[in-house]
Amino acid sequence: MPPDDAASTSRPPERVTTVTLAKMAAARQPLAMLTAYDFPTAQMLDAAGVDCLLVGDSLAMVVQGHETTLPVTLDQMIYHAEMVGRAARRALVVVDLPFPEGQLSIDRTLTSAARILKETRCQAVKLEGGAEQAERIAALATAGIPVMAHVGLRPQSVHVEGGYRVQRDEPQLLADAAAAAEAGAFAMVIECVSAKIVQRIRETVTIPTIGIGAGPDVDGQVLVTHDLLGMTAGYLPRFVKQYGNLREGISSAVAQYVDEVRSGAYPDATHYFR
C-alpha cells in the first residue's frame, strides 16, 4: 500500500455539490462562480478554484454574437454543456434553461432539464423567474432535478422590460425570492438589484444567493468570463471588473504572426523539419 500522502495525490478533488454550496454559505465562505462554454476554458477555471461553472445562455451574445440571449437553442446549450461538464473535476456545473424551455409547459421544461442532465455531465439547471415560476421550480425539484433560481433582471425578458435595467420593485423582488426558495430552489442568482433590496432578500431566504450587479451582501458572485478577462468589445456593465486584457494581448500576438508570415520570418530553421 502506498503511504497516505502518495495516495492522496492521485485522488480527484472533492466535487462541489448543491449541499456543498449550502454549507459554504452557512459558514460565510464566499462562493466564486463564472461562465464557461468550452472544454479548455472550463478546465482552466476549474483548476483555478472556481466553485461553480455556469453554462449560461449568455453564450448567445459572447460566443455567437447575438444582441440578446434569446436565439440560443436547447441543443446548442447541451452541446456546450457537455464540453464544460467533461472538463470540470471539482466545480458544480449549472446549465441555463434557454428561452422558451422555461416559459412553455411544465412538462416541456421537465423534459428539457432531464435532457441536460442525461446528455451532459452537469449537475443542475438554472431557471429565470420568481413567484410565477414557483410551480415549475417545485416540479423540477420533485423530479430530482436541482434548480437554481434567477431573480431581478431577467435577460430572457429583455423585450418585456424594454432593456437591461436595475430592478427596484422591492415588494415584487422579495416575493420572487421567497417563492423560489419555498418552491425548492437550492440557490438563486440575483441580477442588477440595489444593495438595499438585496439585504432584505437575504433576510427573507436561507438558500445561497449569488449576485451579479447586486453588491457585496450575497453569498457569492458571478461574472461572464469574457468580461472578466477583457475579451469583450464595446460596452461593459458597471458591475464588471476586468482582471485581464486578453483581447489586446491576442490581437497583438496574431498581428505579429501575420507580419512574420508575410515577411518570411516564420517559420525559421528552428520551426521546421529538415
Q: What is the pLDDT of residues 208-235, one digit of tens each?
A: 999 999 999 999 999 999 999 999 988 8
Q: Which member of 14, 119, 191, 203 is catalytic?
A: 191
Task: Give the whole-angstrom CA distance, residue 137 versus residue 110.
Answer: 10
- Whether the Cβ atoms of residue 234 and residue 253 lie closer than 8 Å to each other: no
pLDDT band at 8 (very low <50, low <70, confident <90, very high): very low
- Whether the Cβ atoms of residue 93 and residue 53 lie closer than 8 Å to each other: yes
pLDDT band at 163 (very low <50, low <70, confident <90, very high): confident
Task: Give the whole-angstrom CA distance, residue 43 versus residue 85.
Answer: 9
Whether pLDDT at 273 is above 70: yes
Looking at residue 13, its pLDDT comes to 79
Looking at residue 6, its pLDDT comes to 46
Phi, psi of 258 (to 5 degrees): -60, -45
pLDDT band at 274 (very low <50, low <70, confident <90, very high): confident
191 is catalytic: yes
CA-wise closest residue to 35 among 70, 78, 71, 84: 84
Q: In terms of residues, how long is the chain?
A: 274
Output the CA–CA distances (angstroms, integers) from residue 108 to 60, 118, 159, 236, in the order listed.
21, 15, 23, 34
Task: Give the whole-angstrom CA distance, residue 23 versus residue 49.
Answer: 17
Partners of residue 54 on adjacent β-strands:
35, 94
Tens of pLDDT, residues 63-104? 999 999 999 999 999 999 999 999 999 999 999 999 999 999
Looking at residue 154, its pLDDT comes to 96
Task: Give the whole-angstrom CA distance, residue 274 versus residue 257.
Answer: 22
Residue linked to cell 419555498: 182
DSSP state of 86: H
Task: Give the whole-angstrom CA distance, residue 95 versus residue 260.
Answer: 42
Phi, psi of 154 (to 5 degrees): -120, 100
- Whether the Cβ atoms of residue 51 and residue 91 lie closer than 8 Å to each other: yes
* Of residues 46 and 163, more confidently modeled: 46
Looking at residue 268, its pLDDT comes to 93
- Whether the Cβ atoms of residue 123 and residue 130 lie closer than 8 Å to each other: no
Tens of pLDDT, residues 10-58? 566 799 999 999 999 999 999 999 999 999 999 999 999 999 999 999 9
Tens of pLDDT, residues 101-143? 999 999 999 999 999 999 999 999 999 999 999 999 999 999 9
CATH numbers and ranges of domains, the chain:
9-243 (3.20.20.60), 245-274 (no CATH)
Whether pLDDT at 5 is above 60: no
CA-wise closest residue to 88 among 133, 56, 40: 40
Task: Give the whole-angstrom CA distance, residue 183 versus residue 196.
Answer: 24
User: Which stretch of DSSP H or E encloses residue 116?
Assistant: helix 106-119
